């Protein structure tokens, strides 16, 4: 800003130089004094104005400097916030990738476990069928075994009831009177035993 220096004495000289050098007595002198007073008042007013404006300029420059520093601080905060945001996004993406890997492993493990479970379930169903079949077969075998024991007891009872004479007659090779009857009884017992044979 350009400083305007106005000194009252200088103003007075300029005013005096502008006046004609005639001897206008007292009225001219009064007029000059009045002009000097007005010029001095104006100079003071202008000096006060200049001082006020200078104070405003100084205050404005201080405010500008303060705002500049504040702006720089805000920029630094914005940079820090942007960096923190980038770091957070990077960490989030890393965690997301890690979670996806873990999920994929769990999915593979689950699929494998489900396959094993299905195989075990199929094996269990098969074994249940075999157990059912074996249980039924066991019952059948037990029933046939009981029948065989009964048939064996019948044979032993009949053989035990035979007296020695009858045994000789049955085994007598020449006449063979009782032989056919004995062979028929043996065949009946054989058929009863074969009927009780367990078939795979």
Domain-wise residue ranges, the chain = 8-161
Show pLDDT as tens, one digit a residue, over the chain (200 residues): 444 445 555 555 555 555 555 444 578 888 888 989 999 999 999 999 999 999 999 999 999 999 999 999 999 999 999 999 999 999 999 999 999 999 999 999 999 999 999 998 998 898 888 888 878 777 777 777 777 667 776 766 666 566 666 665 556 655 556 656 666 777 887 787 777 766 66
CA distance linking residue 168 with residue 104, whole number of Å: 89
Look at residue 2 in the predicted model and tell me its pLDDT.
47
Is the model's pTM score more than 0.85? no
Look at residue 171 in the predicted model and tell me its pLDDT.
60
Look at residue 1 in the predicted model and tell me its pLDDT.
46
């Amino acid at each position: 800003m350009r400083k305007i220096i106005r000194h009252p004495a200088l103003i007075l000289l300029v005013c005096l130089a502008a006046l004609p050098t005639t001897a206008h007595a007292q009225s001219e002198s009064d007029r000059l004094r009045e002009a000097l007073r007005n010029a001095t008042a104006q100079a003071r007013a202008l000096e006060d104005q200049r001082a006020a404006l200078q104070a405003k300029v100084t205050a404005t420059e201080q405010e500008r400097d303060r705002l500049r520093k504040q702006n720089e601080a805000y920029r630094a905060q914005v940079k820090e916030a942007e960096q923190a945001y980038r770091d957070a996004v990077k960490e989030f993406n890393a965690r997301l990738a890690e979670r996806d890997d873990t999920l994929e492993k769990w999915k593979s493990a689950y699929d494998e476990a489900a396959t094993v479970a299905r195989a075990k379930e199929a094996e269990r169903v098969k074994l249940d069928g075999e157990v059912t079949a074996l249980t039924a077969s066991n019952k059948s075998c037990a029933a046939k075994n009981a029948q065989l024991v009964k048939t064996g007891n019948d044979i032993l009872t009949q053989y035990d009831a035979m007296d020695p004479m009858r045994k000789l007659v049955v085994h007598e090779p020449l006449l063979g009177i009782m032989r056919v009857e004995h062979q028929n009884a043996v065949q009946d017992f054989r058929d009863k035993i074969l009927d009780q044979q367990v078939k795979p």
